[in-house]
Structure 1
Amino acid sequence: MASLLDAPTDTPRQPKLLERLRIHLRTRHYSIRTEEAYIDWARRFILFHGKRHPQEMGAAEVEAFLSHLAVDRQVSASTQNQAKAAILYLYKQVLGMELPWLDEVVQARRPRRLPVVLTPGEVRELLLHAEGTAGLVAQVLYGTGMRLMEALRLRVKDVEFARREIVVREGKGNKDRVTVLPENLIAPLQAQLQKARVLHEKDRAAGLPGVYLPHALAVKYPDADKSWAWQWVFPSPVRALDPRPDARTGQALERRHHLYPESVQRVVRGAAQRARIAKPVSPHVLRHSFATHLLQAGYDIRTVQELLGHADVSTTMIYTHVLNIGGRGVLSPLDAL
């Protein structure tokens, strides 16, 4: 009996379950990272229960899997909730099954954590030790408040040097927004664009496929993927096979993608070690520091909310903890002695 996880064959057939999940996600324009995560969680769920079909399972099996993640694997609450979201998407959207047992599945409570924030001096030391293109990405993260993937997916047309702004396309929640372009980033970004143009012209001379375009734009605008305006600001130095088939040919093509996030993460971690920063530092910490330092400088919280792209100001409020000096501004009795 064929497994749910068997590789697809060339013979005409109905798509297998995970293929149906992938098609459903792509039809609704979910990001490639969400697609990979949901398919991976669905696969783990099926394997955990001995490759049983999800139609044969229900609340007890979902609860058992989520408990396994929390107790045996000791994953975080956010990871457990992501697994739950993927499984429920599989049931409700792909299988079209009503979920009367949904309320029985426990939602893990995410603990309220204060973000790690660097001081301006620590940021300065970190950026001094972060070199190369990945180091420039780190400067962009701190200078604009963008998320890592937002910066890496930045295209040439969205950098407005004259207006001193950057347009963030399809950010979290599939929303566009505008953020600031720091004066100190103009020259480095212009130099980076010159390097990117060299790679672009080299690829065009070699007759390689153009850059990836979302939502079948390559069909609507056939030459847009080869135009300079649509190219990545931070292209990868190497080419790779596109995980999604081309909208025109249906084939997986070798393209030049943007810089890989792991490259930036590795450079930032190394820079933090060389700068001897005794905090857990990741690229996202630079976004936290951007927001905190703006609030410390006296900018309105609504302005910071718009720059960060938060849907609710309550999300931005978490950064107000830094406005209190030393444990909520309380003068310790020890200091009064």
Structure 2
Amino acid sequence: MDGATGAASTSGVSPAAGSTGAAVSVSRQNWQNALSTALRVRHYALRTENTYRQWVRQLLDFHADVPLADLGEAHVQRFLEHLAVGRNVAASTQNQSFSAILFFFTHVLGRDLGELHDTVRAKRGRKMPVVMDRSEVRRVLQVTEGTSGLMLRLMYGAGLRLMECVRLRVTDVDLARGLIAVRAGKGDKDRSVPIPVALSETLGEHLKRLRGLHEVDRINSLPGVYLPHALETKYPNAGIEFAWQWFFPTKNLQNDPRSGLRRRHHLHKNTLSVAIKQAARFARIEKSISCHTLRHSYATHLVEDGVDLRSIQELLGHKSIETTMIYTHVAKAASRRVHSPLDRMDDD
């Protein structure tokens, strides 16, 4: 049974030994609850939980006629190859699906899935990022205002990823030192980035408004904001402290999807995605841009300003310098002034 723990039948399998609580049979009827439990006891983010659930559901739907107890390495390999060949997904998408399925097999089904070395892999092509020049960035930012405008300026001015920006807390923004602490960025790495001087005053005013909102929330005895499990366990009252409040909170309260508590959350990422699309349209930018385009533009403009690659790598939080080097190619392509032969036809 591919190393499954305990007895199994065609209707279900026992969970991995690392699962908490009494052992229950995992079946096509209860696998979602089993997966959620395994992810939550390991303190995975809600977005990761939702993503993993979607991939496991796709795997099970792809092999709808296969009992869960019989699902094995060959079935996973066929599904991953279907993603690469049939759906032509990007390499990062196929890797994400593999991570989700590997977790499901290891921590929910209690089976060793193997490395799947013979699986057809999606092609990992190197694409040049979409970058706005400085005048385009200026035009986009000129037509944005309010909290969304401040967040877009911060993403460009500090090179933040979208979720890094929306997940900022008050304690992360140190105006006195002029630094932003980016916690648990991509790859679960922390880093510090300088606050743009041009935003210091605006951020200070924003902070004052946050303090007023926090005072109202305390008067109304609202539940504290969401905290990672380890923090909540170590500091039970931290959720009501000002330092841990979201830097970009929602105006309205929302139900926490895990605890059910009605509390204040950070702005949804879609708010920013919609804002930059609208700004690009108003600014008549003839490029397909997203929030990540601001980060690409930040990095490219640093290269153009002569900032060394190692410094840019640290500011962006890249694991490899090769990832950062793509921006040198973008900058060189923009600065190259090669005359087309067509432009010289009249000279002959």
TM-score (structure 1 length as normaliser): 0.88
1:161 maps to 2:175: yes
Quote the residue 2:302 is aligned against.
Answer: 294
Deviation at 1:57, TM superposition (A): 1.9
Quote the residue 1:268 is aligned against.
Answer: 276
Note the 1:171-210 alignment, pairs <5 A. 171-210=185-224
Amino acid of the structure 2 residue aligned with 1:262? N
1:22 maps to 2:22: no
1:36 maps to 2:50: yes
1:233 maps to 2:247: yes
Note the 1:29-178 alignment, pairs <5 A. 29-50=43-64, 52-70=66-84, 73-100=87-114, 102-178=116-192
- The 2-side partners of 1:129 and 1:3 are apart by 58
Deviation at 1:309, TM superposition (A): 0.5
8 Å CA contact 1:59, 1:101 repeated in 2: no
Deviation at 1:97, TM superposition (A): 1.7
Deviation at 1:72, TM superposition (A): 5.2
Deviation at 1:50, TM superposition (A): 1.7
Quote the residue 1:280 is aligned against.
Answer: 288
Deviation at 1:187, TM superposition (A): 1.5
- The 1-side partners of 2:267 and 2:176 are apart by 25
Amino acid of the structure 2 residue aligned with 1:106? V
Amino acid of the structure 2 residue aligned with 1:40? Q
SS of equivalent to 2:303: helix
Change (3 A) 1:154 1:100: closer
1:188-214, Cα deviation, whole Å (9 max, x unpaired): 212222222232222212111011111
Quote the residue 1:8 is aligned against.
Answer: none
Change (3 A) 1:101 1:263: closer
- The 2-side partners of 1:101 and 1:165 are apart by 41
Quote the residue 2:323 is aligned against.
Answer: 315
8 Å CA contact 2:304, 2:331 repeated in 1: yes
Deviation at 1:141, TM superposition (A): 0.2
- The 2-side partners of 1:154 and 1:182 are apart by 16
Quote the residue 2:6 is aligned against.
Answer: none
8 Å CA contact 2:130, 2:296 repeated in 1: yes
Deviation at 1:175, TM superposition (A): 1.2
1:150-173, Cα deviation, whole Å (9 max, x unpaired): 111111111111111111111111
Q: 2:263 aligns with which of 251, 255, 258?
A: 255
Quote the residue 1:9 is aligned against.
Answer: none
- The 2-side partners of 1:25 and 1:37 are apart by 11
1:270-310, Cα deviation, whole Å (9 max, x unpaired): 00011010111100100000110011001011111100011
Q: Which has the larger radius of gyration?
A: 2
Larger deviation, residues 72-81 vs 324-333: 324-333
Identity over aligned pairs, percent: 49
Gaps of 5+ in 2: 1-9, 13-21
Gaps of 5+ in 1: 5-11, 246-251
How many residue pairs match? The answer is 324
Quote the residue 1:217 is aligned against.
Answer: 231
Change (3 A) 1:101 1:119: closer
Larger deviation, residues 127-136 vs 54-63: 54-63
Quote the residue 2:15 is aligned against.
Answer: none
Aligned-CA RMSD value? 2.5
Amino acid of the structure 1 residue aligned with 2:96? Q
- The 2-side partners of 1:81 and 1:162 are apart by 41
Change (3 A) 1:326 1:236: closer
1:22-45, Cα deviation, whole Å (9 max, x unpaired): 222223332221121011111221
Amino acid of the structure 2 residue aligned with 1:281? I
Quote the residue 2:19 is aligned against.
Answer: none
TM-score (structure 2 length as normaliser): 0.85
Deviation at 1:335, TM superposition (A): 5.5
Deviation at 1:51, TM superposition (A): 6.5
8 Å CA contact 2:84, 2:120 repeated in 1: no
8 Å CA contact 2:181, 2:192 repeated in 1: yes
8 Å CA contact 2:255, 2:262 repeated in 1: yes
Amino acid of the structure 1 residue aligned with 2:288? P
SS of equivalent to 1:292: helix
Quote the residue 2:311 is aligned against.
Answer: 303
- The 2-side partners of 1:297 and 1:153 are apart by 29
